Amino acid sequence: MRLQALTLLARVTAGILFPLVLGASGCCGCPMGLCSSLMKSLPGPGSSPPSTGPSLGVGGGGEAEEAEPTAPLAPETGQAERAPVHGDAKRPSLQLDARVPIRGAIQAQAGKTVFVPHTAEAAAPVGDGSSFVVAGATGIWLHDTKTLAKRSRLVSTRAIDVTAPPDGTRFAYSSPDGTVRVVAYPSLKQLAAATIDVPVRIRFSADGQRVVSGSESDDVTLLDVATGKTTEFDTDDDVNDVFPMPDRPSEIAYAGDDDEFAIADVSKGRKVFSSEPLVEGWRSSRSFFTMRDQQAVAFDPVTKVLLGGGDDNMLWRVDDLRGSPSIRAPIELGGNVVEIACCAGQTAAERTAYVAVDDLQVRAVALDGRAGPQFGPLVGSVGSFKIRIALLPSGDVIIAPQRALFRWDPRSGESLRSADYAAPSTLGASVLDADTVYVLCDGGTCMVHRATHGAPAPDVETKILGELPGGGTRSILPFDDGTRALVTTKEDKIRLVYLAPGGGLEAPIDTPAEASLGGHYAKRDGKTHGYVDAAGEVYEITASPRGARKVGTAGGSGPVTSFDWDAATRRWRVGRGGSGFVYVP
């Protein structure tokens, strides 16, 4: 199964400089042929030469479960344009200035309204490439490619993925309930819809006639846009990525948790290719190699190379797929492959894939193995981080790592970071009925933001209440009356800063409690929270009166491993590694 390493690192950024590696020059001195003049005339990502064969209808398809019909989408405007953050692709950062308001939407949920920060889950160019759409927690947003500015919201409900064909005349998006909709662009008229197993990935075919999806329910699905019919194939294991084969309309390439990337003919209901025997043959002469879950797959119609990658740190290339398939020596990338965007370049020698690995780094890799420009990494270690890549007709690359949004020019090395997607950590957030409070820290400075829950709105900003006086934020403790205690530190002691409903930051209250990394917080009721430090000292924190008072010490040996309120004994229960549970007082 896929590796689950250090997920907490998804909230940490590191400014680590990696060298920029350039391969042999292609046309006109540009690295690997990535000249903008060439890119304008290239086949689009994943595209193929015009087909003169029969129509692309898929036989054997069953009727899709009909999704709710919709009228053409009605765009909603957002806040005034916010300038992007210019940077260097060698030193990008997931963080935004904590002094800049967070943008998001006020959305209805369970009979209430809540503030939902904008997130970028995936992106796809539309039209002539001067615009692109972004799927995220607040819907589908249309952006200007040059400035990254949000133009309008096209879909008001959460979207988990979006894809478009190379001609940009339509796009498809998926929702958490498994609905996939296909929409014409720019008319925004719905062309097709189906409800399927919730997909982890959707992709458009190069001709715009099919949408393929893969799910963790062990299947791949083909949606015929013209008929609305779907055809499924059971893969017997979780699917992580899919790619529609351009030369055979009923075939879907997929990467999955069965340690392979494969191709299924959904109309015939059978697998027609598996990477497993080729990889086994390659590794037979090597002592230390284990094939692992495959996370990404793509096919280049120019070179006819099938690409795969996953948790084995390798980019695999399969040649002569339709004849006698063979596998080249893999390209080792120093991290698990989590995304492949294929491909840029006009000639076979120039064809280049953009490959993301799990330290949120994107590398240009020529299909002949040459290394090209590099974006990132954005974190200092590997982990289960999400990242999506979209190739633009201009040769630039849209990157959506951990819900942020960048545009990268591989030729100049310049990167632009959208200021509309702050992707604040849930560890620094507190949601109550009336409002949401965030504490964002940047360079040692922590700013407190508040978003009031009013009527639904597509694009609003948080109000900045001021700087949190202390050394970072440890926790946000909510009380039933709407008051919050923001927990920070001063000189290695716990400091409390209270925030009343609708009010501002109050004067800090210093406590004798040690601000140890081994400390734990727990809630007793709507009026009282508890804190135990690494030495076992237990404190109660209340809103009335403000402050913290010591209630006892959890004796015993070993580290503090757990902390909660035991309703049966009406005492604090502290788990100590060497002594079991200790009750206080």
pLDDT at residue number 239? 96
pTM of the model: 0.85
Q: Which residues partner with 573 through β-bridges? A: 564, 583
Residue 427, pLDDT score: 61
Length of the chain: 585
* CA gap 124, 143 in Å, rounded: 10
User: DSSP letters along 335-394, please?
Assistant: S-EEEEEEEE-SSTTT-EEEEEETTTEEEEEETTS-EEEEE--SSSS--S--EEEEE-TT
pLDDT at residue 52, rounded to an integer: 29
Q: What is the pLDDT of residue 67?
A: 57
Phi-psi region at 472: left, alpha or beta (left = phi > 0; alpha = psi -120 to 50): left
- Strands (E) in 248-347, as ranges, are 251-256, 260-265, 270-274, 294-300, 305-310, 314-319, 326-327, 331-332, 337-344
Residue 375's pLDDT is what? 97
Q: Which of 547, 540, 473 is nearest to 507 (CA)?
A: 547
The pLDDT assigned to 385 comes to 85
Residue 417 has a CB neighbour count (10 Å cut-off) of 22
* Contacts of 525 by beta carbon, 8 Å cutoff, 6+ apart: 565
In which element (H, E) is residue 582 found? strand 580-584
Give tens-digit pLDDT for 513-559: 999 888 999 999 999 999 999 999 999 999 999 999 999 999 988 99
Q: How far apart are CA 85 and CA 532, in angstroms?
A: 41
Where do we find the tokens 């002094």?
Answer: 99
**Within a 13 Å sphere around the CA of 116, how many CA atoms are in the beta-carbon half?**
23
Torsion angle, CA of 383/388/392/394, rounded to 10 degrees? -10
Say if residues 311 and 317 touch (Cβ distance below 8 Å): no
- Which of helix, strand or coil describes residue 282? helix
Q: What is the DSSP letter of 65?
A: B
- With vertex at residue 536, the alpha carbon angle to CA 533 and CA 541, rounded to the nearest 5 degrees, is 55
**DSSP codes joined into one string, 150-167:** EEEEEE-S--SEEE--TT
Cα torsion 56, 58, 64, 66: sign? positive
Residue 290's pLDDT is: 64
Average pLDDT, the chain: 87
Distance CA 150, CA 133 (A): 9
Rounded-to-integer distance, Cα 23 and Cα 573, Å: 60
Q: Which residues of the chain have pLDDT under 50?
A: 1-64
| pLDDT tens sequence across 10-63 | 333 333 222 222 233 233 333 444 443 333 333 344 433 333 222 222 223 344
Helix count (H) and strand count (E) of the chain?
2, 49
Residue 65's pLDDT is: 56
* Interacting residues of 113 by C-beta distance below 8 A, sequence separation 6+: 106, 107, 453, 454, 455, 456
Report the distance separating Cα 208 and Cα 189, nearest Å: 15
Structural domains in the chain, CATH included, are: 7-49+72-417 (2.130.10.10), 426-584 (2.130.10.150)
Q: Position of tokens 């497993």? A: 276
Q: How many of the other CB atoms lie within 10 Å of CB of 29?
A: 7
What distances in angstroms separate CA 281 from CA 275, 284, 286, 289, 335, one per listed residue? 10, 5, 10, 12, 23
Half-sphere exposure of 86 (CA within 13 A, CB side): 4
To which residue do tokens 């950062």 refer? 93
CA distance 361 to 356: 5
DSSP for 471-511 reads SS--EEEE-TTS-EEEEEEETTEEEEEEE-TT--BPPPEEE
